[in-house]
Structure 1
Amino acid sequence: MTTVTTTDSTRAATFPATVTRLAELYGDREAVVAPEGRVTFAELARRCDEIAGAFAAAGLRHGERVGILLPNGLRWLVAVLGAQRAGLVAVPINTWYRSSEMAHLIGTAELRMIVTDEHVFGKDILAELSAAGHGKIFDPGRSDDGYRGALFWPAAQPFPPTAVRGPVPAPNVVSAEDVAMILFTSGSTALPKPVPLEHGKLLRNGRAMGECMDLRPGDRLWLAMPLFFGYGACNAVPVALTHGVTLCLQEKVEGDAALEFIERERCTVFYGLATAVRALLAAPSFGRRDISSLRTGPVGFNAEDKRLAIDGLGISEACSAYGLTESYGFVTMTDAHDPLDIKLHTQGTVLPTQQIRIIDNTGVECPPDVTGEIEIRGCVIDGYLGSEEVNAGTHSEDGWFRTGDLGAIDTDGRLIFGGRWKEMLKIKGINVAPLEIEGIVSGHTDINQAYVIGLTTTEGDQEMACVVVPENGSVPDEDGFIQGLTEYIRGRAASYKVPARFVVMDSGSVPQTDTGKVSKLKLREMLEAAR
């Protein structure tokens, strides 16, 4: 694995200590480029101290929780790091949440305050909070041991207008074992689960991830995916801070705007999911913008998504990876300088901060190249925030976290990801992994995207359906196209792995989650409704 030149900042065990050390080492260097402006590392540290003093002046105490409901940007970053500087726990809030979802999060996390704006992406935040039963606005003149209310922070203001400036809390108010933030999982099949993440583990894993990507001070990391989810908050942010990297933030992924931004800022690190890659490649200005500065960054799960990022966007040192929010980011990664074939067809080797094993349905560890459930430990949560019921079945008897994902470890120690266990299909009594079929279909020269899902049948079995997006957006003869695709799959897989149904869609019609991932749940609902 590549060794990189690290700095003393990478040894800090907490976020406040890391920010302070970065200000000492690189005070005049640019730390953040965001919609609200640019700041150096020294200015970032000063602003974090300032908002930390305001939290303390508001009566918030060590370990209490502050919600952050803001778009990607400088305010989001300063609010999160400032809360941690004050010894508080930051709780990023999904900007797409409506009142019922906000009520669940506020109650579960027991928030004392929410830092937000009056309108976020056009949504009336006070109206949503009021409907959630938390419509109080922060009043510095009122003392309250409970919920202090919403602290509004307009984008044009460097400091929340109604906040009171106070003394900066003493340094070293937090330890590596303290919870730095609580992230809520996406909750596609159930209520979102709260994931408590510690300072030390976030930074240790962030350091390990950045070393695989061969990062160094002076790199510039582009991110337009939501900061409130794991890919941003417990992946990109700690990676950037442990390597002195400039965070170049946009509020959302918009192809032409992103290309112009990456070109102007000379971004070197690409943090975008497969949907972001496709958005850039499909943008009218692609090919006219110089994005040759892009060098590295994490890329998608399947070979086609990885190839699009590496070949399409020119990210030659991209890294394939596997991880989840509960594992503080990635568990396995390829190295930036690994051969292309390894990047395309594996998720790399386990990070030094993590452990991984593959278990069969009897609880026995699988030999190399045999698929089973992925279990992990190391920089991994001990449990979700909440009751025993929430944590039931999440850990093995000997303490390993059960991911619910399928995979195999090859003879070289590299992970081959096999998809989600709960997404496995039962076709004619045989288990079929959608990821395998998607990989085959995506290899067809006329296919841009492929998504395999299972539809229920009256016999209690499943019918395999495959949604495809043609390379050119449409096909003149859909029946002939599907027939040719069927024959293509038959030549590469057993007959029971051939989808019984194909649906041709254009890229814009494929539903997405709030994080920019394709929503198979919505796809299934669409196909079920159309039967």
Structure 2
Amino acid sequence: MTDHNERRNDVVVPDTFPDALAALAKRFPDEEAVVAPEGRLTFAEFARRAEELAGAFRAAGLRPGERVGVLLPNGLRWLVTMLGAQRAGLVAVPVNTWYRSAELAHLVGTADLRLVVTEKQVFGKDMLAELAAAGHGEVFEAGARADGYLGALFWPSAEPFPSGLEPAQAPEHGAGPDDFAMILYTSGSTALPKAVPLEHGKLLRNGYEMGERMHVGPGDRLWFAMPLFFGYGACNALPVALSHGLTLCVEERVDGDASLAFIERERCTVSYGLATAVRALLAAPSFGSRDISSLRTGPVGFNAEDKRLAIEGLGVTEACSAYGLTESYGFVTMTDASDLPEVKLHTQGRRLPTQEIRIVDKSGAVCPPGVSGEIEVRGCVIDGYLSGSDVSGGTHSPDGWFRTGDLGSMDGDGRLSFGGRWKEMLKIKGINISPVEIEGILGEHAEVDQAYVFGLSTPDGDQEMACVVVPDERSAAEDTELASRLREYVRSRAASYKVPARVVVMDSAAVPQTHTGKVSKLKLREMLEAG
């Protein structure tokens, strides 16, 4: 195994996803590449199936640079479609499986899709009906037409190949490192989702550096049960796996007991679960009776409590705290797997070799160490969104840095401390307050399991601070008693204007989530405003 205390300078990172897969198929032909609901593939089998699908796409009339939607659950078909499209020189566009007709219409139109690979039922939804309601109800027919939208290409889960296509020889040349590998769509919680185009070379270079921080390599097995169609999967876990020869152990979704059994059976070593996934595993009835001691490393959440649950609760002792976004090809900063626990709990680590980071104030001046401001990044970062200057305007500083809209500070050792979203900052009686700060205080209380702070509009046009807390299972206090106790707890540790005006105690099952498994503060706000 490589000594990760010393950086390897002799590694040549492949230029494209298909190049990476081909290299792994040559080096580890009989080793498992994928374990998924539809079965298992070795690296050689994975590469062969991607090659055959690439040839079929070309035979169907698709040409390099054109775009193919991937509207499938996590699994073999999703991965083979992604790599097959890229091997043909196409751009893969992972589609959110929770989308309905209006969202599909926006995506098909802005991405200019030529084809959507899907199945007739995805998580109980009639996909052809949804596409038809979006104005794209055509079904793919081989040889029917050569241009425009070709329709939905169905791939049943029990079949080795999509219906209506035949395996064919792959083209001699595919994509290059500067070509788009994929287009991902942001979650769009406050506006229409933005299309984020990502290049092959940057994905693999940053993926390699992320893997180095986690100390992973051939033989490691990466557990992934979050949606592959978002950045955490497609531009983070996937390039890490392809650049380091990991086995992808994929589930369609997180299911506490079933996921624990899966991790135990497959001896997964790398945990790629968001905070909600970690909590689901810890809350499962079979937790404690399943042997998940194989878990060793992987990314962990933003706040100290979420990180502690992964490190101490699940036993991911070499976990890495990180900061990043889809637009930055995954992570920008990470702690090292060997860093001390306090470094992991209270910082997001140092920048990756592929990235640069700075903190600036409202005037654009760089902040000194310890002073909070907006996080700006450059390096493996997008030049702009797909939709053009109307969407991309204002996303870059005059000197070319990407403006994240996130708050943070850097210490004297170059480690980042994340301070939350700039747009989530509260202004209470003219004073700025970071929700992350108050969530951190509440998270230290013995009776609090989760805390979510946000602003509510008041009739006079101001804001009041509200907080939803999920009590720890050991708490026996009544809701009103606990709410009062927590307000006094914050008052004893912070200025009086940082005490939440409203504290609502809520059962964890009632806390709404986004389709990516994150807690939705927008929906929490709507719930409280509706009374």
Q: Is the shorter-chain TM-score for this pair beyond 0.5, marking a shared fold?
A: yes
After superposition, residues 38-53 of structure 1 pair within 5 angstroms as 38-53=40-55
Whole-angstrom distance in 2 between the partners of 1:5 and 1:22: 22
Conservation of the 8 A alpha-carbon contact between 1:182 and 1:197: yes
Question: Residue in 2 aligned with 1:168?
Answer: 170
Question: Residue in 2 aligned with 1:281?
Answer: 282
Question: Residue in 2 aligned with 1:121?
Answer: 123
Conservation of the 8 A alpha-carbon contact between 1:4 and 1:214: no
Question: Residue in 1 aligned with 2:461?
Answer: 460
Conservation of the 8 A alpha-carbon contact between 2:60 and 2:143: no
- Measured against aligned partners, the alpha-carbon deviations of 1:4-50 in whole angstroms (never above 9, x if no partner) come to 89799862111111110000000000000000000100000000001
Instruction: Give yes or no for the alignment of 1:335 onto 2:336.
Output: yes
Taking structure 2 as the reference length, the TM-score comes to 0.98
Question: Residue in 1 aligned with 2:79?
Answer: 77
Q: Helix, strand or coil: the match of 1:242? A: helix
Whole-angstrom distance in 2 between the partners of 1:401 and 1:188: 20
* Offset of residue 161 of structure 1: 2.4
Question: Residue in 2 aligned with 1:296?
Answer: 297
Question: Residue in 2 aligned with 1:309?
Answer: 310
Whole-angstrom distance in 1 between the partners of 2:15 and 2:9: 13
- Measured against aligned partners, the alpha-carbon deviations of 1:226-245 in whole angstroms (never above 9, x if no partner) come to 00000000000000010000
* Offset of residue 313 of structure 1: 0.2
* Offset of residue 474 of structure 1: 6.6
Whole-angstrom distance in 2 between the partners of 1:161 and 1:509: 41
Whole-angstrom distance in 2 between the partners of 1:286 and 1:10: 41
* Offset of residue 480 of structure 1: 2.0
Conservation of the 8 A alpha-carbon contact between 1:418 and 1:436: yes
Instruction: Give yes or no for the alignment of 1:62 onto 2:64.
Output: yes
Question: Residue in 2 aligned with 1:472?
Answer: 473
Partner of residue 16 from structure 1, selected from 11, 15, 18: 18
Question: Residue in 1 aligned with 2:30?
Answer: 28
Whole-angstrom distance in 2 between the partners of 1:480 and 1:62: 63
Partner of residue 143 from structure 2, selected from 136, 141, 144: 141
* Offset of residue 476 of structure 1: 4.1
- Measured against aligned partners, the alpha-carbon deviations of 1:58-116 in whole angstroms (never above 9, x if no partner) come to 10000000000000000000000000000000000000000000000000000000000
* Offset of residue 465 of structure 1: 0.5
Letter in 2 for 1:34: A
Conservation of the 8 A alpha-carbon contact between 2:217 and 2:245: yes
* Offset of residue 488 of structure 1: 1.2
Whole-angstrom distance in 2 between the partners of 1:131 and 1:479: 47
Whole-angstrom distance in 2 between the partners of 1:6 and 1:65: 36
Q: Mean Cα displacement is larger for which, 473-482 or 280-289?
A: 473-482
Conservation of the 8 A alpha-carbon contact between 1:10 and 1:242: no
Conservation of the 8 A alpha-carbon contact between 1:220 and 1:266: yes
Q: 1:226 to 1:7 in 2, by over 3 A?
A: farther
**RMSD value, Cα:** 1.4
Conservation of the 8 A alpha-carbon contact between 1:303 and 1:344: yes
Letter in 1 for 2:112: E
Q: Helix, strand or coil: the match of 1:46? A: helix
Letter in 1 for 2:88: A
Whole-angstrom distance in 1 between the partners of 2:10 and 2:87: 19
Whole-angstrom distance in 2 between the partners of 1:126 and 1:35: 23
- Measured against aligned partners, the alpha-carbon deviations of 1:294-331 in whole angstroms (never above 9, x if no partner) come to 00000000000000000000000000000000000000
Whole-angstrom distance in 2 between the partners of 1:7 and 1:399: 28
* Offset of residue 391 of structure 1: 0.7
Whole-angstrom distance in 1 between the partners of 2:115 and 2:81: 12
Conservation of the 8 A alpha-carbon contact between 1:219 and 1:245: yes
- Measured against aligned partners, the alpha-carbon deviations of 1:190-247 in whole angstroms (never above 9, x if no partner) come to 0000000000000000000000000010000000000000000000000001000000
Whole-angstrom distance in 1 between the partners of 2:105 and 2:37: 29
Whole-angstrom distance in 2 between the partners of 1:270 and 1:421: 29
* Offset of residue 387 of structure 1: 2.5
Identity rate, percent: 71
After superposition, residues 48-447 of structure 1 pair within 5 angstroms as 48-171=50-173, 173-447=174-448
Conservation of the 8 A alpha-carbon contact between 1:4 and 1:216: no
Conservation of the 8 A alpha-carbon contact between 1:196 and 1:381: yes
Whole-angstrom distance in 1 between the partners of 2:463 and 2:517: 27
* Offset of residue 162 of structure 1: 1.1
Q: Helix, strand or coil: the match of 2:244? A: coil
Could you tell me which runs of 5 or more consecutive residues in structure 1 were left unpaired when the two chains were aligned.
none
Q: 1:175 to 1:8 in 2, by over 3 A?
A: farther
Whole-angstrom distance in 2 between the partners of 1:488 and 1:479: 14
Whole-angstrom distance in 1 between the partners of 2:185 and 2:486: 39
Conservation of the 8 A alpha-carbon contact between 2:95 and 2:229: yes
Letter in 2 for 1:469: V
Whole-angstrom distance in 1 between the partners of 2:31 and 2:479: 55
Conservation of the 8 A alpha-carbon contact between 1:217 and 1:245: yes
* Offset of residue 486 of structure 1: 1.6
Conservation of the 8 A alpha-carbon contact between 2:447 and 2:475: no
Instruction: Give yes or no for the alignment of 1:517 onto 2:521.
Output: no
Whole-angstrom distance in 1 between the partners of 2:488 and 2:18: 58
Whole-angstrom distance in 2 between the partners of 1:27 and 1:468: 50
Conservation of the 8 A alpha-carbon contact between 2:468 and 2:506: yes
Q: Helix, strand or coil: the match of 1:104? A: helix
Conservation of the 8 A alpha-carbon contact between 1:221 and 1:246: yes
Q: 1:442 to 1:10 in 2, by over 3 A?
A: farther
After superposition, residues 477-496 of structure 1 pair within 5 angstroms as 477-496=478-497
* Offset of residue 166 of structure 1: 2.6
* Offset of residue 473 of structure 1: 7.7
Q: Helix, strand or coil: the match of 2:196? A: strand
Q: Helix, strand or coil: the match of 2:503? A: strand
Whole-angstrom distance in 1 between the partners of 2:124 and 2:386: 31
* Offset of residue 459 of structure 1: 1.7
* Offset of residue 160 of structure 1: 0.9
Taking structure 1 as the reference length, the TM-score comes to 0.98
Whole-angstrom distance in 1 between the partners of 2:384 and 2:483: 46
Conservation of the 8 A alpha-carbon contact between 2:67 and 2:115: yes
Letter in 1 for 2:123: F
Q: Mean Cα displacement is larger for which, 257-266 or 468-477?
A: 468-477
Q: Helix, strand or coil: the match of 1:11? A: coil
Whole-angstrom distance in 2 between the partners of 1:363 and 1:11: 35
Conservation of the 8 A alpha-carbon contact between 2:302 and 2:418: yes
Letter in 1 for 2:194: K
Q: Helix, strand or coil: the match of 1:451? A: strand
* Offset of residue 167 of structure 1: 2.5
Question: Residue in 1 aligned with 2:529?
Answer: 528
* Offset of residue 477 of structure 1: 2.1
* Offset of residue 386 of structure 1: 1.3
